[in-house]
A and B are shown apart, each in its own frame.
Chain A
Amino acid sequence: MTAAPDAAALTLERLVRRFGSHIAVDQVDLEVTPGELVVLLGPSGCGKTTTLRLIAGFIAPDEGDIRLDNRSIVALPPHKRDMGIVFQSYALFPHLSVARNIAFGLEMRHTAAAATQVRVAEMLRLVRLEAFANRLPRQLSGGQQQRVALARALAIHPRALLLDEPLSNLDAALRQDMAREIRLLQQARGITTIMVTHDQTEAMALADRLVLMHDGKVQQIGPPEALHLRPANPFVARFIGGANVVPGRIDAGTHLALADAPPIALAAPHAGTGAATLAVRPDSIRLGDVGRVGIRTEGTVELCTWLGATVEHVVRLGPEITLLARGPGLGPDAAPRHKAGTRVSLHWSAEDEFLFDANDRPIAANATHFTRSRETNDA
């Protein structure tokens, strides 16, 4: 990835935004390097869109600073921020042709007519819509409108590109094409990009780094693999990969005592005692016969769902606890299917087991101290 000459570094510093008594964005810190694509990911209402709107300047922060190349832009109105934005609804100007839509930002900058024409032609070529220059937005398909919105945002040589759920209005097949196209364009142009999405797969596919948000707070920042391999708290583990989360108490470092079920034997010894939360992803859990050694725990199959590529079992450990296990559904490695009511053993390996202390911080296996990794920027 090479950064374009006009790509900027973007810094968010202790950003806070309240709506009445609700804190939509709570002390958000973020450093985006020139040419990087950072995805703000989280469930709806987590503050990701508010963060994007703060960067765009549509709303003002209550506290904190936003800097482009180390110069604060908090006081600048949106029209002076030089941000290219692609909206969820594309927000094309319905009364202007495709070409005039793309030219809009250049006209606002009083670019000479000839230069504007050249730039518009270049942008149309970039998004492969040369033949549609004179169409009106409503005469285009969703994917085409999306590309016009992208071309319009890029035409002004923005210092950063902001994408607000750009793929959510497209159907599934088109979404993947478009995601790839956005990624290629962004990399080819080396433009600093912030994208907001609630779709984990989309985020994984596009991001250099992910920012996972929840309740206005950043839960973890890092490359997709880092969030997957080293989730910073139970929320991250659950959101990325849909981990089963089991609250309990660490007992002698080797077991997790549960309130209403037999203890779970941990795959690796963990330091300390006290309240703890275990997170295990469905894909990490293998089911087997009962009574074998080296198993984590046992349970009763409640539901078996075969989905073709995968097979899923819901296994009940106790009155209030069920775990979801997922294995391959086809081929030589296909996981055995168990009927509802069957007693099964559950296995997983040490690297697939995540433990968190009472403050939701990770507890390292075999370690004597708790590591705090709110930010795992290393790959």
Chain B
Amino acid sequence: MSDTLARVEHAAVSLLVTLGVALIGVPLLLTLYLSVFDEKLILFPPHAYTLDWYPAIAATFGDPIWTSLQLGAAAVVGSLALGIPAGIGLSRHRFRGKGLVSTLLLAPITVPGIALGLAIYIMLVAIDEGAGSSLTGSMAGLVLAHILITTPWVVRLCLASLATHDRTAEEAAASLGAHPLKVIWRVTLPAMRPGIIAGALFAFVISFENLELALFLTSPGVTTLPVAVLQYLEYHIDPLVAAVAVAQTLGIAVLLLLLDRFVRLGRIVR
């Protein structure tokens, strides 16, 4: 009886896993397939296959990729600088307004990106009008906006890595003569290492593929890869975009695999 049940259960699980993998895998494989069509327009079946689209990426999207990489790096640095201390403070200390700070830090995740982008755009325009600055459409404005949406992830992952950490280790360090800052440096931060690495990775990926904020905040001089791809798609339907998608997916996959060697991501991201 229970044997049959177990077999049915096993079959059901296998089916669901297969469906899930197919759901994710089929579009990826189709994109990969598309990216090697030797056609100016996407025609099926293609009359030939080529790898020429890949070298062509740099010529068309080189600048936006470079911008997106810089932006991602800046967002990582900025959100770590804010998120790590915030995570330590929120998990280790009690203070007035802690609930509010915690809500504010995590809130940007809950606001739709397009609404956030519009709001930030309006705010930057207002600031520029008032202060005579030129934040709108600048790299600085974009970086600040990206830090806003990446920080919640860093905070959340830092909190997660501290949740399982034995707090008495910090008291032990203090009793052994470590100054509070030394305690953070020698005990708290090492304990947070997996969370910090995962947070940095999340921040980078979220920044790199963000379209909604960039739609409002980029200008002809500063264009990120997602925006450039969108603009390209308005006039061209050729396999180049598929090649970009494949390259981007591969890049992030390699990054994930590398990181997984150093920290077991599965342990932090549940």
- A interface with B by C-beta (< 8 Å): 56-58, 77-85, 87-89, 91-95, 104-105, 108-109, 149, 152-153, 156, 162
Q: Mask for B190-211, Cβ within 8 A of A = 1, else 0? A: 1101000000000000000000
Q: In whole angstroms, how far apart are the Cα atoms of A357 and B178 in the complex?
A: 51
Q: With contacts A93-B187, A95-B191 known, is A109 near B168, CB below 8 A?
A: no
Contact B177 A156 (CB under 8 A): yes
Assess whether B166 is interfacial by the CB under 8 Å rule: yes
Instruction: Pick 9 A–B contacts, CB within 8 A, sort by A.
Output: A78-B171, A85-B172, A85-B175, A92-B169, A93-B169, A93-B173, A93-B190, A109-B177, A153-B175
Q: Whose C-beta in chain B lies nearest to the C-beta of A87?
A: B168
Contact B178 A79 (CB under 8 A): yes
Q: Knowing that A95-B190, A108-B176 are A-B contacts, what are 9 other residue pairs whose CB atoms are under 8 Å apart, sorted by A's residue number?
A: A77-B174, A79-B180, A80-B177, A84-B175, A85-B171, A88-B168, A95-B193, A108-B177, A153-B176
Nearest Cβ distance between residue B178 and chain A, in whole angstroms?
A: 5
Contact A79 B177 (CB under 8 A): yes
Point out the residue from B166, B169, B174, B190 that lies within 8 Å of A79, measured CB to CB. Answer: B174
Lowest 5 CB-CB distances: which A-B pairs, in order?
A105-B176, A108-B177, A91-B168, A91-B172, A78-B174
Contact A104 B175 (CB under 8 A): no
Q: In whole angstroms, how far apart are the Cα atoms of A36 and B182 in the complex?
A: 32
Nearest Cβ distance between residue B188 and chain A, in whole angstroms?
A: 11
Hey, which chain B residues are within 8 Å of A85, CB to CB? 171-172, 175
Contact A81 B173 (CB under 8 A): no
Point out the residue from B169, B173, B175 that lies within 8 Å of A56, measured CB to CB. Answer: B175
Q: With contacts A91-B168, A93-B169 known, is A78 near B175, CB below 8 A?
A: yes
Assess whether B236 is interfacial by the CB under 8 Å rule: no
Q: With contacts A93-B187, A95-B190, A95-B191 known, is A87 near B178, CB below 8 A?
A: no
Assess whether B10 is interfacial by the CB under 8 Å rule: no
Interface centre among B174, B178, B180 (most CB of A within 10 A): B174
Q: In whole angstroms, how far apart are the Cα atoms of A224 and B190 in the complex?
A: 44
Contact A89 B166 (CB under 8 A): yes
Assess whether B179 is interfacial by the CB under 8 Å rule: yes
Hey, which chain A residues are within 8 Å of B180, CB to CB? 77, 79
Contact B169 A94 (CB under 8 A): yes
Contact B176 A87 (CB under 8 A): no
Hey, which chain A residues are within 8 Å of B169, CB to CB? 91-94
Q: Whose C-beta in chain A lies nearest to the C-beta of B174?
A: A78
Hey, which chain B residues are within 8 Å of A149, CB to CB? 172
Contact A79 B172 (CB under 8 A): no
Hey, which chain A residues are within 8 Å of B176, CB to CB? 79, 84, 104-105, 108, 152-153, 156
Hey, which chain B residues are within 8 Å of A58, CB to CB? 171, 174
Contact B172 A87 (CB under 8 A): yes
Q: Whose C-beta in chain B lies nearest to the C-beta of A84?
A: B175
Nearest Cβ distance between residue B264 and chain A, in whole angstroms?
A: 14
Q: Whose C-beta in chain B lies nearest to the C-beta of A92?
A: B169
Hey, which chain B residues are within 8 Å of A82, CB to CB? 177
Nearest Cβ distance between residue B169 and chain A, in whole angstroms?
A: 5
Contact B187 A89 (CB under 8 A): no
Hey, which chain B residues are within 8 Å of A162, CB to CB? 175
Hey, which chain B residues are within 8 Å of A78, CB to CB? 171, 174-175
Contact A83 B175 (CB under 8 A): yes
Point out the residue from B168, B175, B178 that lies within 8 Å of A81, measured CB to CB. Answer: B175
Q: In whole angstroms, how far apart are the Cα atoms of A232 and B176 in the complex?
A: 38
Point out the residue from B171, B182, B186 that lies within 8 Å of A87, measured CB to CB. Answer: B171
Q: In whole angstroms, how far apart are the Cα atoms of A84 and B190 in the complex?
A: 23
Hey, which chain B residues are within 8 Å of A87, CB to CB? 168, 171-172
Q: In whole angstroms, how far apart are the Cα atoms of A85 and B173 in the complex?
A: 10
Q: With contacts A109-B177, A156-B177 known, is A56 near B171, CB below 8 A?
A: yes
Hey, which chain B residues are within 8 Å of A83, CB to CB? 175
